[in-house]
Amino acid sequence: MPLLVMKFGGTSVATPDRIRRAAKRVGREVANGYDVIVIVSAMAGKTNELVGWVNEISPFYDAREYDAVVSSGENVTAGLMALTLQEMDIPARSWQGWQVPLKTSSAHGAARIEEIPTDNMNAKFAQGMKVAVVAGFQGISPEGRITTLGRGGSDTTAVAFAAAFGAERCDIYTDVDGVYTTDPRITRKARKLDRIAFEEMLELASLGAKVLQTRSVELAMRYKVKLRVLSSFEDNDEHAGTLVCDEEEIMESNVVAGVAYSRDEAKMTLISVADRPGIAAAIFGPLADAGVNVDMIVQNISEEGRTDMTFSCPVDQVKRAERAMQDAKTRGEINFHDLYADTEVSKVSVVGIGMRSHAGVAAKMFKALRDENINIKVITTSEIKISVLIDRKYMELAVQALHDAFELEKAAG
């Protein structure tokens, strides 16, 4: 029997009525001859509520108990979805992570999936179960404790199940009807993409696009899982949404697929550090140990054995970065004259696999920003992306200007 994985996000299961709507979609796929694994998130807002309760009770909480609490939201949704399907006379059963079992590492709050044995669930399908409703975002550690996969982890759960069970496709139902060339809230010219390559989606997700969780795209690319992003609130046919697939499955694509942004970035500069072998390790080692997510890095021209080192990080990690650098200075690991933090910047990026074979993308991007009198503070590039840091007040203008410059409202052809 062919198998589909269908994942429903928090807004898609926010109320009993929405759960019934989602269940009807599942019922249609069962009627089409599929066995279905449904992955569900907690109802919209529930995880935040649970996290708030944990912080209120225990600000310095035990991570194992944190996982026990925050994973409960998905358990509720899974049970309600299974009950709804049963009321529709569809043989369904809910599964918590430990029942599968979805085996993970012991990193509570950010566990990684290690194995999904299929025998248990396949046996139930063989006995007549048509739908397995699995609580997303959770698994079980080698010690037998509940673990969670980090925010957005239900996407990762869905792709992992699709890979493990050899699903025909993994459909991600959310509150948007696909992947757009940029945020439609910023420019009305944003266009929904019919298809996008794994690499492009991975870059867009890592650069701030909220449609899919980064780890889920990494898994899909590694195991060649076809992903389809669809709206829970619209009627969908077989061509609806956006298919995330191999580059070879896309006949024609624009040079630039999309414009992504990350609003709340910070630019930090260490003034006058020693220009010597190992200085980068001495700086970024303590930052990594402190959990600071460093992105763009620029080292300035050296003068008389000293240099300036600039890097970006999320604005809510600035205090942590400052403490890590001051502690490293106190320990004598590094020496610098000053540490400057600019907390009013944003990152804007253009992404596209077509950039590999087309010259002039950077020039066009920089010209578009220049024409809007937007100053670039930091630049970083890869094979299929160019990112810049700019003043936050110009972020939306920059996104609109770049979308227009690369004519992303037009489909390739």
Q: Does residue 75 lie in a domain region?
A: yes
- Please tell me whether residues 279 and 386 are part of one structural domain: yes
Q: Is 174 annotated in some ligand binding site?
A: yes
Residue 249 counted as domain residue? no
CA dist., res. 108 & res. 159, Å (int): 20
Asked whether residue 320 is marked as a ligand-binding residue, the answer is: no
Edge-first strand listing for the sheet containing 195-197: 92-95, 131-135, 35-40, 3-8, 169-174, 227-231, 242-245, 195-197
Quote the tokens at residue 3.
């198998």
One domain, residues 156 and 286: no
Among 175, 203, 218, the domain-final residue is 175
Model pTM above 0.75 = yes
Enclosing domain of residue 314: 259-405
In a domain, 222, yes or no: no
Q: Specify if 207 maps to a domain.
A: no
- In terms of Cα–Cα distance, which of 246, 207, 215 is closest to 351? 207
Give the confidence band of 51 by pLDDT, cuts at 50, 70, 90.
Answer: very high
Question: Annotated binding residue at 278?
Answer: no
CATH number of the domain enclosing 141? 3.40.1160.10
Q: In angstroms, what CA-CA distances link 23 with 85, 86, 125, 296?
A: 6, 10, 18, 44
The token pair at 266 is 């910070």
Question: Last residue of a domain, which of 140, 175, 210?
Answer: 175
Q: Is residue 215 part of a domain?
A: no
Per residue in 263-310, pLDDT (tens digit) is: 999 999 999 998 888 999 999 999 999 989 998 999 887 677 789 999
| Token pair of 260 as six digits | 């992504």
Q: Are residues 32 and 168 in the same domain?
A: yes
Is 393 annotated in some ligand binding site? Answer: no
Does residue 410 have a known ligand-binding role? no
Say what the pLDDT of residue 178 is: 87
Ligand-binding annotation for 47, yes or no, is yes
Would residue 411 be called left, alpha or beta, if left means φ above 0 and alpha means ψ between -120 and 50 degrees? beta
> Do 136 and 281 fall into the same domain?
no
377 is in an annotated binding site: no
Q: According to the model, what pLDDT value does residue 281 have?
A: 94
Res 413: pLDDT: 58
Cα separation, 336 vs 141, in Å, equals: 43
How far is Cα 199 from Cα 180, in angstroms, rounded to an integer? 15
Q: Annotated binding residue at 211?
A: yes
Give the model's pLDDT for residue 17. 96
User: What's phi and psi for 16, nearest 5 deg?
Assistant: -55, -40
| Domain-located, residue 184 | no
Q: Is 104 annotated as a binding residue?
A: no
Chain centroid to CA 6: how far? Answer: 18
Which residues are CB-contacts of 210 (< 8 A; sequence separation ≥ 6)? Answer: none
pLDDT exceeding 70 applies to what percent of the chain? 97
User: Which residues face 3 on adjacent strands?
Assistant: 35
3-state SS, 46-67, equals HHHHHHHHHHHHCCCCCHHHHH
- Separation of alpha carbons 14 and 11, rounded Å: 5
Mean pLDDT of 329-350: 94
pLDDT mean across residues, the chain: 91
Is there a domain that residue 240 lies in?
Answer: no
Contacts of 62 (CB under 8 A, 6+ apart): none
Q: Is 161 annotated as a binding residue?
A: no
Do 277 and 389 belong to one domain?
A: yes
Identify whether residues 296 and 159 lie together within a single domain: no
CA distance 254 to 191: 12
3-class SS of residue 336: coil
* 185 annotated as a binding-site residue: yes
Please state the domain count of the chain.
2
pLDDT tens string 194-226: 889 989 988 888 776 667 888 888 999 999 999
CATH of the domain at 313: 3.30.2130.10
- Domain stop point among 122, 142, 175: 175
